[in-house]
């Protein structure tokens, strides 16, 4: 059985792999002169997948900070986590 951290990491990696696949679809669509609608739809899917992965990463870091405020995730302060979160918003 995997730990919560390992499970969260697995989900994040899966999201990023999905985004990579969607980005490959965008490149292919552009190379094959696909319709603007198809390209924009694929781009929106890539953007959404990346946003979700980013939020999951920041969320994991926030959980670590709440669980151990002195030894915050990656040495990030609460202010730094807030800035990272807002970068995604």
Give residue-wise pLDDT tens across range 29-68.
999 999 999 999 999 999 989 988 888 888 877 776 565 5
What percentage of the chain carries pLDDT values higher than 70?
A: 82
What number is the average pLDDT over the span 4-29?
Answer: 90
pLDDT at 25 exceeding the cut of 60: yes
Count Cβ atoms below 10 Å from residue 64 Cβ, excluding itself.
17
- For the chain, domain boundaries: 4-88
What number is the average pLDDT over the span 9-36?
Answer: 93
**Nearest C-alpha neighbor of 44 from the set 19, 15, 14:** 19
| 61 or 83, which is more confident | 83
* Stated pTM of the model: 0.69
**What is the distance between the alpha carbons of residues 37 and 59, in angstroms, rounded to a whole number?**
33
Give ∠ CA 36-17-61 in degrees, rounded to 5. Answer: 115
We find that the CATH architecture of domain 4-88 is Up-down Bundle (1.20)
The two three-digit tokens of residue 48, written as one number: 């959404």
Instruction: Output the pLDDT for position 1.
Output: 45
pLDDT at 9 exceeding the cut of 90: no
Instruction: Output the pLDDT for position 36.
Output: 94
């Amino acid at each position: 059985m995997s730990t919560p951290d390992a499970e969260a990491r697995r989900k994040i990696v899966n999201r990023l792999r999905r985004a990579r696949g969607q980005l490959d679809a965008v490149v292919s669509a552009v190379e094959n002169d696909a319709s603007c609608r198809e390209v924009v739809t694929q781009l929106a899917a890539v953007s959404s997948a990346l946003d979700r992965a980013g939020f999951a990463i920041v969320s994991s870091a926030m959980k670590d900070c709440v669980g151990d405020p002195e030894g915050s995730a990656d040495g990030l302060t609460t202010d730094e986590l807030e800035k990272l979160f807002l970068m995604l918003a």
